[in-house]
């Protein structure tokens, strides 16, 4: 693999930079860089800007309204948008359910749902995890019983990210309780406005509402909302998870965060000298940078494989493991770089509109919250322990 960019790819990078200079709202970039909470309107605004430019579905083929970009172009786009402080595209519609629909969905499902993802008509959330069925996803108990032209869904999902905003949820449901765990599961598309659905907030440590519980009480779902075959939803589930895990690596975001770390540490002094000159701290930064370069190369190999018609395989587990560890290490170093100023936590400072005065430098205010929030990376999308088992079996043959 040639790791040098061609003149055409460098020209593409300039094209993306021009787009970001012209279209990325400065106040939105300031919120992202300042670690502020983004609202529903913020996400919708950025998705609309990307969609208008044809840049929302960078992983989609042109036939479905995507960019048709090469893996390197997508990588450059991720790098530049993260470096500019653009919000990350919400993955649930564009990068999770959409690939499943393209591979397993009916033509009618593709025709209806894919354009609605592009134009923002639908906000999707994920109905995978349940109490008692997280890393052991096949242990899920939410039932869907066929009754004529509907499924009747009963059960509970949890850790449903931004479900309070969603009008659609893709769900794994058990349609054959007598079958082996992975063989009695189906993949359903459910309208969140259907009677019988209740969304309850889970308030996180930082006082925010990022996740929810979703309850289903005799919810009627049309049979045409089944994706793939009944009781054969496990391949859909695994296919979606490989795309999710690849995205969790967050290479562009990690590179932007590393630059922020160097900037913050360069302004902090230890014994009268910048913290970046402290041998112990500098060694940890260098370790992160080296590991990030290696992860970036692996990521390019994986997306190149996907571009040639394959799907992300067990390599996505490697990306998930190493990407989550790196991003956690960066937030740890950011927290340590400001020392005791990371300790005071005022939830109001996470909002863009606040009269609260931070303790210490403003850049220190969100660091503790970000540090704790990043702990989730090694859990969701399949815990890192589960991913190591996948790597051991699928790649190492153990």
Report d(CA 25, CA 393) in Å as an integer: 46
| Bridge partner list, 332 | none
Count the neighbouring beta carbons within 10 Å of the beta carbon of residue 107.
7
Closest by Cα among 314, 318, 282 to 298? 318
Closest by Cα among 294, 374, 293 to 35? 374
Locus of tokens 């170093």: 333
Which residues are within 8 A (CB) of 23 and not within 5 positions of it... i.e. 6 or more apart? 49, 53
Specify the DSSP element, H or E, that contains 313: none
Taken as a whole, the chain contains a residue count of: 398
> Among the options 79, 80, 210, 244, which is catalytic?
244
Report d(CA 46, CA 56) in Å as an integer: 9
Q: How far is CA 245 from CA 29, 91, 144, 379, in A?
A: 25, 11, 27, 11
Report d(CA 185, CA 139) in Å as an integer: 10
Does residue 8 carry a catalytic annotation?
Answer: no
Specify the DSSP element, H or E, that contains 198: strand 197-202
- Yes or no: say if 57 and 120 are a contact pair by the CB < 8 Å rule: no
* DSSP E strands, 267-373: 269-270, 273-274
Locus of tokens 């992983």: 59
Which residues are within 8 A (CB) of 156 and not within 5 positions of it... i.e. 6 or more apart? 130, 131, 142, 213, 214, 215, 216
- Yes or no: say if 29 and 46 are a contact pair by the CB < 8 Å rule: no
Q: Which two tokens stand for residue 198?
A: 């209740």
Q: Which two tokens stand for residue 142?
A: 């939410």
Which residues are identified as catalytic?
244
């Amino acid at each position: 693999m040639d790791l040098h960019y061609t003149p055409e790819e460098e020209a593409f990078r300039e094209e993306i930079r021009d787009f970001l200079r012209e279209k990325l709202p400065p106040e939105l970039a300031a919120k992202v860089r300042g670690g502020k909470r983004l609202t529903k309107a913020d996400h919708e605004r950025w998705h609309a800007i990307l969609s208008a430019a044809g840049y929302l579905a960078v992983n989609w083929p042109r036939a479905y309204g995507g960019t048709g970009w090469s893996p390197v172009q997508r990588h450059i786009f991720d790098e530049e948008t993260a470096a500019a402080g653009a919000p990350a595209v919400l993955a649930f519609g564009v990068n999770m359910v959409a690939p499943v629909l393209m591979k397993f969905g009916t033509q009618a499902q593709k025709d209806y749902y894919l354009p609605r993802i592009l134009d923002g008509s639908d906000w999707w959330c994920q109905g995978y995890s349940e109490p008692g069925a997280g890393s052991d996803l096949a242990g899920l108990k939410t039932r869907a019983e066929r009754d004529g032209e509907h499924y009747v869904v009963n059960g509970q999902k949890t850790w449903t990210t931004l479900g309070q905003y969603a009008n659609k949820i893709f769900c794994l449901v058990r349609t054959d309780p007598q079958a082996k765990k992975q063989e009695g599961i189906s993949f359903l598309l459910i309208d969140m406005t259907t009677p019988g659905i209740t969304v309850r907030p889970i308030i996180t440590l930082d006082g925010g509402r990022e996740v929810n519980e979703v309850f289903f009480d005799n919810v009627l779902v049309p049979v045409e909302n089944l994706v793939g075959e009944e009781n054969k939803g496990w391949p859909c589930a695994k296919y979606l998870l490989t795309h999710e895990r690849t995205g969790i690596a967050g290479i562009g975001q990690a590179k932007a965060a590393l630059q922020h770390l160097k900037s913050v540490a360069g302004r902090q002094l230890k014994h009268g000298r910048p913290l970046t000159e402290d041998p112990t701290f500098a060694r940890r930064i260098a370790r992160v940078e080296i590991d990030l370069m290696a992860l970036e190369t692996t990521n390019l190999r994986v997306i190149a494989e996907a571009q040639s018609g394959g799907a992300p395989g067990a390599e996505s587990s490697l990306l998930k493991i190493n990407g989550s560890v790196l991003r956690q290490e960066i937030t740890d170093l950011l927290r340590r770089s400001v020392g005791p100023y990371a300790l005071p936590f005022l939830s109001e400072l996470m909002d863009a509109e606040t009269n609260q005065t931070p303790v210490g430098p403003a850049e220190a205010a969100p660091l503790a919250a970000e540090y704790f929030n990043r702990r989730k990376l090694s859990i969701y999308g399949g815990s890192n322990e589960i991913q190591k088992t996948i790597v051991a079996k699928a790649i190492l043959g153990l």
